[in-house]
Amino acid sequence: MATLLSPAGLAGADFQLAEPLKDRRVVVAMSGGVDSSVVAALAARSGAEVIGVTLQLYDHGAKAKRVGACCAGQDIRDARAVADRLGFVHHVYDHESRFRDTVIDQFADEYLAGRTPIPCVRCNMGVKFTDLFQLARELGADCLATGHYVRRVMGPEGAELHRAIDPARDQSYFLFATTQEQLDFLRFPLGGLEKSVVREIARDLGLGVAAKPDSQDICFVPDGDYASLVRKLRPDADDQGEIVHVDGTPLGTHKGLIHYTVGQRRGIEVGGQAEPLYVVRLDAATKQVVVGPRRALAVSGARIVEANWLARVEGRPLLAKVRSMAKPVPARVEGDRLLFAAPEYGVAPGQAAVFYSADNETRVLGGGWIDATFSAE
With CA atoms as reference, report the closest residue to 229 among 104, 118, 102, 60.
Answer: 104
pLDDT of 104 above 60: yes
**Catalytic: 123?**
yes
Q: Which of 70, 71, 123, 143 is catalytic?
A: 123
pLDDT of 341 above 90: yes
pLDDT given for residue 98 in this prediction: 84
25-29, strands of its sheet edge to edge: 89-94, 49-56, 25-29, 143-145, 186-187
Instruction: Determine the Cα–Cα distance for residues 312 and 167; give it in Å rounded to an integer.
Output: 25
pLDDT given for residue 123 in this prediction: 83
pLDDT given for residue 13 in this prediction: 65
pLDDT of 9 above 50: no
From residue 262, give the alpha-carbon distance in Å to each of 104, 123, 257, 277: 21, 23, 11, 11
Condensed to tens digits (0 to 9), the pLDDT of residues 157-216 reads: 999 999 999 999 999 999 999 999 999 999 999 999 999 999 999 999 999 999 888 876
pLDDT given for residue 3 in this prediction: 47
Q: Which of 70, 71, 120, 219 is catalytic?
A: 219
pLDDT given for residue 70 in this prediction: 54
Count other Cβ atoms within 10 Å, centred on residue 206: 9
Is the bond into 343 cis (omega within 30 degrees of 0)? no
